[in-house]
Structure 1
C-alpha cells in the first residue's frame, strides 16, 4: 500500500518535506510490543482531539482542545484489552469517548467508555450473531461507531450503529434485486461479495489505486450509503441506500461500448457523479455521468494510436517497489492496462479535481515441489489527470498531497512507530511514538509544495 503513495515523491524528488511539530508528550515505552497501539481521533462536534495509547498493560488518554493544547489526561490499567484490536470510537453527548475492542477468537466486542470527570471507565460486552454474520468493515460517522456485517446465507447486509450507549440494527435487504457475473450469467448477491469483497472508500480523502481497483465499493454520504458493483464489464450496478427508512433504489449505468469489447472496467463515485472507465488493448473509454439523471456529462475515447491529451503526468509503469518508469506510447500503456485490475480515483482540493487512472496486477500463487507460495510481485501502470471543477482539462502539474509527504516522511524516518493518520481542519496529522526522543509527536502536513 505504501508504495502507491510514494509515486509522487519519486517523480517529484524536489519536494521539500517540511512539516510543523504541533505537540509532543513524553511516553515511557522501553520497547515496542506487539499489542501496543496509538490512535488519534477528533470529536466532530467540539473539534477536540483525543489520543489513546495502549502500552505494556496500561493505557493513557490525552485530551487536546481544538487548538491542540493538552487540557486533560488520565491513565489506568488495560483491564479489558488483552488479545483485542481497537476497531473504532464514538463520542457521547457528554463529550466523553467510547472505544470498541474486537476479539477474533471470542468473536465479540468490548465497549469501553472513558469518563474524564471521574477518571474512570465502564465496560460492556456486545455479542453479534457470529454464526450467521461476518464483519465486512467499520467506520466512524457523526460521532457514532458503525460496523457492517454480511449475512452468510441471505442476501443481506446488517449495519450496527453505536451512539450514546445505544446500538441500532439496520438490515439492508437485497433479495428484490438480480445480479450477474462478468459473463452476464446469473449470480447471487453473496457470491458476488465473496469474489469481490466490499471496499470502503474514505469520504473527502484520496483513495489510492490499491483500494479503487475493488469491483465492489461503498461510499458514505449523509444518511445514505452508495454501493457500486462493477464485476460485469458492461455496466455499473449502483444501489442508493436510505439509512432512515432502509429503502434501496437500483440504477444501472451502462458502460460505453468498446469496438473490440472491454477486458477490464470500473467506476468511481464523486460528488453526485459517476466516473466510468473500460479498456482493452486498442482503446480506453472514459465517461462522466450525472448520478440523478444519468446524463453523460463528458465522454472521452482514446485509441492506441492517439496521444492521451488530458494526462498531466507521464504514462508510468512500476514493478514491485522499484521506481516508476515511463511508457512512451499509448499502445504500450493499453497493452499493460488491459491485463490488470483497472481502477480510477477522483479527489478534489479547493481548486481542482485530481484523477488517477491505472491498473494493478492480481496476486497469484506459484507452485514449487507441491507447495504453494504467494507471488508478491506486482505491476502497476497509471497516469494522473488534473481537471477544473467544471470538468475542463488543465495543464497544471500534479503537486504532492499531504498523504504523499506523510508516507515519504515515514519511509525516511525509522524512529516513527505506532503511527496514526487523521484529517483535521484543512490539513493532515501524523501522530506517532518517536523511538529516539521517547515521546508521542503530532506533525502537521499540508497539500502542495512548501
Structure 2
C-alpha cells in the first residue's frame, strides 16, 4: 500500500489525508534523540493505551480508551541505562512490564512498574545465546513472546513472559522432511539459514518487502502459523499449538504455470492460503481453503490478457521515486519475473485489499571522478569505482469483498498509507511508532520543532 500511495499523494494534499491530533506532551530530548527510544502499546483487557519514552529517564504516559491522559510517571533508568527497549506486557493487575535487551550481557531485564505506588521491581533473564539464536519477538494478548532458533537441535524455542514469569516451550521440527528449491533434502535449520523467518504483523498490512520472504511466521492467540515456500512445487505449512506444543503439517501444491522456470510464494490470511506463481509469460493466483485444501478461486493471466481483477495501474517503482505505469500485462510480467514475488492480504471493515508484485535489487559499479570517494567506500571496492544498489518493485492493487468477490471500486488509501505519507512529508518527525487499534491507527512521534510527543489518529479512506 505504501508504494501505491506515493501515486495517490500526488493527487491529494497531505492536509486532506492527515487526521486528528489526539494528544501532545511537552518533552525536550535536547540532543539525545539518537539515544532515545519510544514504545506504544495497548492493554487489550482494559484498552488503556501506554506510551513509554526512554531517554536519560523513563516517562510512562497512561491514556484511557478515549485517549485522555490518566496518569504520568517519570522514573529512572536504573539497571537498563545501556539496554534496548524491545517490548512490554501487562499483568492481571493492569501494570506494565518492560523488557530491556542487552546482547553484550546476553540477558533481558524485566522491570514491572507499579503505577499506583510509583515503584518497580526488576528481574534478570539470562538468554541461552550459546545454544540458541534470536529470531523475533512480539506482543500478543498482553503477553511478551521471544522466539529463538536452536543451533543444535532441529527446532524453535518460545519464551512466553506472563505475569512476571517466563515459560519456555520447545517446538520440535525434527520429525518433518524438508527439501530445497532443487528438491535436495535439508534439515529444518538449513532451510531457515537459507530462508530467514520474517514475522508478519497480525491484523496489519504487511508490505511487499516483507511478504516476498520464503519463510513467514504468523502470530495468532496461543498459536503460530509457519509457512515455508522455498520449494517451487508446494507450500509447507505448520500449525503450532502453543498450549500443547502439537505441530500439524499441511501441504498445499503450488498452481502450475504453463512453462518453467517459475517463481512462487504464499500468504496465510484467516483460514485461507493465497498462492501466487509466475514466469515471464503467465501469472496465477490461487486461493485455497485452509481446512480442506480445495481451491476456492483461481485466476490465470497470460501476457496477452488484461488483468481483470486489478483496481490500480500496473506500477514500477525505483527506490523512492514516483511510480510509473507499465503499459501492458506483457511488460508487467517481464518485470515481475526479475523479482522476488509475493502477495499481501489485508482486511478492514469493508473489504479485502491485495497487493500482488515483487521486489528486486540491482548492483552497479560506477566510475568515481578523480579525487572523489563516497562515504560508503570500503576496502573491497576498487579505488576508481564505487557500488550503487538500486531497489525496485513492480505491483498492482486489488480490492475484493470479504466473500472473495472482485470489485471495480477505486483504491482508497488505508490508514497505513496516510501515515507513511505524513511521515515522508514532515521532516520534523523522529522516533515514529504506529499502534493499530480496533477502529483506527495511532501515529506517535516526537516533533523536533514543537518539542512535543504527539499522538495522531488516522483512519482508512479519504476524509
Normalized against structure 2, the TM-score is what?
Answer: 0.93
> What is the correspondence of 1:6-405 to structure 2 with a 5 Å cutoff?
6-15=3-12, 16-55=16-55, 57-362=56-361, 368-369=381-382, 375-405=388-418
CA contact (8 A) 1:6 1:407 kept: no
Please list the CA deviations of residues 83-137 of structure 1 after superposition, one character each: whole Å capped at 9, or x if unmatched: 2111100001111000001112112111111111111111111002110101100
Distance, in Å, in 1 between the alignment partners of 2:383 and 2:144 is 45
> What is the correspondence of 1:406-421 to structure 2 with a 5 Å cutoff?
406-421=419-434
Distance, in Å, in 2 between the alignment partners of 1:364 and 1:174 is 37
Unaligned runs of 5+ in 2: 366-379
2:81 aligns to what SS in structure 1? coil
1:377 aligns to what SS in structure 2? strand
Q: 1:373–1:113: structure 2 CA closer, same or farther, 3 Å change rule? A: farther
Distance, in Å, in 2 between the alignment partners of 1:266 and 1:79 is 46
Q: 1:371–1:391: structure 2 CA closer, same or farther, 3 Å change rule? A: farther
2:291 aligns to what SS in structure 1? coil
Aligned length: 446
Please list the CA deviations of residues 169-207 of structure 1 after superposition, one character each: whole Å capped at 9, or x if unmatched: 110000000001111111111111111111111111111
Distance, in Å, in 1 between the alignment partners of 2:256 and 2:441 is 41
Distance, in Å, in 1 between the alignment partners of 2:232 and 2:93 is 49
Please list the CA deviations of residues 366-399 of structure 1 after superposition, one character each: whole Å capped at 9, or x if unmatched: 6732899775311110001111111111100110
Distance, in Å, in 2 between the alignment partners of 1:391 and 1:199 is 26
Q: 1:207–1:374: structure 2 CA closer, same or farther, 3 Å change rule? A: farther
Distance, in Å, in 2 between the alignment partners of 1:249 and 1:6 is 36
CA contact (8 A) 1:149 1:157 kept: yes
1:81, distance to aligned residue in structure 2 (A): 2.1
Show the counterpart of 2:376. Answer: none
Normalized against structure 1, the TM-score is what?
Answer: 0.96
1:362, distance to aligned residue in structure 2 (A): 4.2
Per mean C-alpha deviation after superposition, the further-off stretch among 235-244 and 367-376 is 367-376
2:87 aligns to what SS in structure 1? strand
Distance, in Å, in 1 between the alignment partners of 2:229 and 2:387 is 26
Moved over 6 A (4+): 370-374
Q: 1:365–1:168: structure 2 CA closer, same or farther, 3 Å change rule? A: farther
CA contact (8 A) 2:112 2:121 kept: yes
2:7 aligns to what SS in structure 1? helix
Distance, in Å, in 1 between the alignment partners of 2:387 and 2:159 is 35
CA contact (8 A) 1:35 1:83 kept: no
The answer to whether 1:424 aligns with 2:437 is yes
CA contact (8 A) 2:18 2:422 kept: no
Distance, in Å, in 1 between the alignment partners of 2:386 and 2:210 is 24
Q: 1:82–1:51: structure 2 CA closer, same or farther, 3 Å change rule? A: same
Distance, in Å, in 2 between the alignment partners of 1:200 and 1:256 is 24
